[in-house]
A and B are shown apart, each in its own frame.
Chain A
Amino acid sequence: MASVMTEADLRARISAFLAEHDPAAAAGGGDADRLAFLRARFDAGLAWVHFPAGLGGLGAGRSLQPVADDAFAEAGAPDNRPGRIGIGLGMAAPTILVHGTDAQRSRFLRPLWTGEEVWCQLFSEPGAGSDLAGLGTRARRDGDDWVLDGQKVWTSMAHVARWAILLARTDPDVPKHAGLSYFVLDMTAPGVEVRPLRQLTGEAEFNEVYLTGARIPDAHRLGDVGDGWKVAQTTLMNERVSIGGGAMPREGGMIGVLAAAWRDNPGVRTPGMHDTVMRLWVRAEAARLTGLRVRQQLAAGAPGPDGSAVKLSFATLSQQISAAELDLLGDEGLRRDSWAMGRPEEVDFTGRDAGYRYLRAKGNSIEGGTSEVLRNIIAERVLGLPAEPRVDTRVAWKDLPR
């Protein structure tokens, strides 16, 4: 199945598809036209071409995906607004593909890709951040259902999401990693309450989600009971690739903003600041080329721990660059556009004002695995260094101090 499809084959299929489905009419029409076009694209296997046939793909190599995306963009076709459905595309879909049943794959993947159904991720809890496997949200079996009680936090898009991927504790009497199971939760079900969580930028990208007797049918469990930790690894590896892993040109992203600020403000230049700007420019270009190389490696296989390197350097750089920008701008950098509590559906790290960038970047080394946890992952999984002595892995979860 792998990579029998050539680039020429793919282009021929796309041309045939575009001849039958007018991209301009779909883009210019209403939501129904747009959706019809996206559904047809999915059904033709031209959505994510490395997925299997019948699930929006053609079983082609991952490296052909940009060919499809570029061809549709050039034709002026409507896209699925990927910035709005990043969690679905980047995390839920690969997990459902690997661990889902046939029924789950055919139910969830098509509306996920077209953007009809938005997804969110219910992993972190107030008492389980870096120590995700210590989470306490309980799922108790009741007939054909599971009954959920607990609190989740840092959930972006929860207020508009139809579905959530959720990790819950199904057995508190075994050590923590062994007692977890992985579910798909209907966010419209009774007992699911979403509250905005205001962050230090002033807005609320994220939410808290309270689960009070919410029910999940057993048919919406992903993987076996007790295998939740294993299933979650697929999600987390893909998350680290999707944060900070996007392709961009030289001076794309945050460094472009700093470089423009340098060029536009000759009056504020100092030798010390110049050195800072040049050091950051080099590190940003090195990180960009690393992303390019990691994607070339990915084209050949699945995401590995290299994604952790990309995410770690992205976090460090975005913080250093945004801090340098405030230093460079001086007084002007202290003027914010607003402290109003918006609820943005798409986050633009380079958008808004310099103060926003500085503040938002503080989240980059916390969300999706703190930089400290990523360093442990690299040290242990890549370099093979021994783990710190652990006190929490052989004890029943219910007996751990908390």
Chain B
Amino acid sequence: MSDLVLVSSADEQDLRSGVRDMLAAECTGQSVLAFVSSGADAYDAKLWRTVATGMGLAALLVPEAQGGAGAQYRAAAVVAEELGRAVAPVPFLSSAVVATTALGSSASHELLGRLASGELTASLAVPYGLWSAPPLLSAQYGAVTGSVRGVADALGADVLLVPADDGLYAVESAAARRTRIPSLDETRPLCDLELSEAPARLVAPLAAVPRALRVAAVMVAAEQVGVASWCLDTTVAYLKERYQFGRPVGSFQALKHRLADLWVELTQARAVVAYAVADLAAGGDDASVAASLAKIVGSEVAVRAAEECVQMHGGIGFTWEHPAHLYLKRAKATSVAYGSPDRHRARLATLVDLPLEAS
């Protein structure tokens, strides 16, 4: 497993700068702030068209036979990281990563093809914080009944992928009652779902769900690296220009040492995520351990970076007008998403034979 390449290729670097340049023009801190302040939309539809259709990035994990790019995990991680860096309110993670992975290659050509083109978005109908077996709805005579709380990006999705008794079902979202919840992270709003004999079509076995959650944990960790790197870069830049006591605040060791530690932690998180992504791309021999590791390390660095960003900005960092809070909310919400670090440490303990209880 030490043969895995943990550094970026030239193509990956080109993709990174392409996505970053696009986001610098179309997804600024002020535009995301305006999106969140209005609270009207489920996601930024114009930005999503650019990401999904314009740049073709919704197709990265769709199999080639269904009109996608194949399992381009390394590229998808680059995109997730850059979207995290911009706290972009688009359903890349929920639709192009999680729902697409859940559909796998067994689903109909038609649905995956339309997800690949960005024409449709889909959401896996499980609580955002889910890390293990999903709660199952009941399925009878081609219809699904039950409720799910706190689903990410379901509000704007065209299709819901619902885990029910005997498999994963596709449901037209119009057939479900969706109630928007004021969410900690309004750049990825949650909603509650109520389904009452909603017409449904079996699209994948239930085993697709844990696999999708493993990929989700890795890709959300890539996103968290993006969140953390924005927070670090922005804080460093601010501390160079903010003067107090007649000198740049960034010249005080009390702050420099905290930022140095944060940089070390971020450097480590990059390596862990690079490893988890490279493992996925190579077939996933170590997928369970790598996904838990990535989710723990990514969550911790994102939350710490965002908290330091707010603190080191002082008063301006506590305002609504400064975008730091968007990153704090994204960081904390993603820390809970797909299993908190504590859940993953508990899982890891079993995976690497360090159990609490003597067997």
Residues of A whose CB lies within 8 Å of any CB of B are 247, 259, 262-263, 266-267, 269, 271, 274-275, 277-279, 281-283, 285-287, 289-290, 292-294, 296-297, 300, 306, 309, 312-313, 372, 374-376, 378-380, 382-389
Contact = CB atoms under 8 A, between A and B. Distances in A.
B260 A383 contact: yes
A263 B250 contact: no
Contacts of B356: 269, 271, 274
A286 B271 contact: yes
B293 A313 contact: no
Interface in B58-108: none
B309 to A, nearest CB: 14
A374 B257 CA distance: 9
Closest 6 CB pairs of A and B: A266-B358, A379-B256, A375-B260, A378-B260, A386-B251, A293-B6
B348 interface: yes
Given A278-B349, A286-B269, A309-B263, A386 B240 contact: yes
Contacts of B253: 375-376, 388
B258 to A, nearest CB: 9
Contacts of B269: 286
B348 A278 contact: yes
Given A282-B296, A384-B240, A387-B251, 13 more contacts: A271-B356, A274-B349, A282-B348, A290-B268, A290-B272, A293-B270, A297-B7, A312-B264, A372-B257, A378-B260, A379-B257, A385-B250, A388-B252
B110 to A, nearest CB: 40
Contact of A282 (B7, B297, B353): B297
Contacts of A306: 267
B274 interface: yes
Interface of B: 2, 5-7, 232, 236, 239-240, 247-248, 250-253, 256-257, 259-261, 263-264, 267-272, 274-275, 293, 296-297, 345-346, 348-349, 352-354, 356-358
Contacts of A389: 247, 251
A388 B260 contact: no
A14 B159 CA distance: 60
Contact of B248 (A259, A297, A386): A386
B279 to A, nearest CB: 11
Given A282-B297, A313-B264, A385-B240, A289 B250 contact: no
Contact of B297 (A269, A271, A286, A293): A286
A325 to B, nearest CB: 14
Contact of A278 (B263, B271, B354, B358): B354
B257 A375 contact: yes
Given A263-B354, A277-B354, A279-B345, A296 B6 contact: yes
A287 B257 CA distance: 19
Is chain A's interface secondary structure helix, strand, loop, or mixed overall?
helix
B263 A383 contact: yes
B5 A313 contact: no
B354 A247 contact: no
Contacts of A292: 2, 6, 271, 275
B98 to A, nearest CB: 24
A296 B256 contact: no
A274 B355 CA distance: 8
Nearest to B349: A278
A231 B260 CA distance: 25
Most buried by B among A267, A300, A313: A313
Contacts of A378: 260, 263-264
A376 B271 contact: no
A312 B263 CA distance: 11
20 contacts: A259-B352, A274-B354, A281-B354, A282-B345, A285-B293, A289-B275, A292-B271, A293-B6, A293-B270, A293-B275, A309-B263, A312-B260, A376-B253, A378-B260, A378-B263, A379-B259, A383-B259, A383-B263, A386-B248, A388-B251
A294 B267 CA distance: 10
A282 B263 contact: no
Contacts of B2: 247, 292
A296 B7 CA distance: 7
Interface centre among B232, B353, B354, B358 (most CB of A within 10 A): B354
B354 A289 contact: no
B348 to A, nearest CB: 6
Contacts of A383: 232, 236, 256, 259-260, 263
B274 A382 contact: no
Contacts of B297: 282, 286
Contact of B267 (A271, A290, A372): A290
A286 B269 CA distance: 7
Contact of B251 (A278, A286, A385): A385
Contact of A262 (B256, B270, B272, B354): B354
Given A269-B358, A281-B352, A292-B271, A385 B256 contact: yes
Nearest to A66: B2
A271 B358 CA distance: 12
A309 B262 CA distance: 10
A385 B354 contact: no
B236 A289 contact: no
A398 B261 CA distance: 35
Contact of A286 (B256, B272, B348, B352): B272
Given A263-B354, A278-B349, A282-B293, A386 B250 contact: yes
Contacts of B232: 383
Nearest to A285: B293
Given A279-B345, A293-B274, A389-B247, A375 B256 contact: yes
A279 B348 CA distance: 10
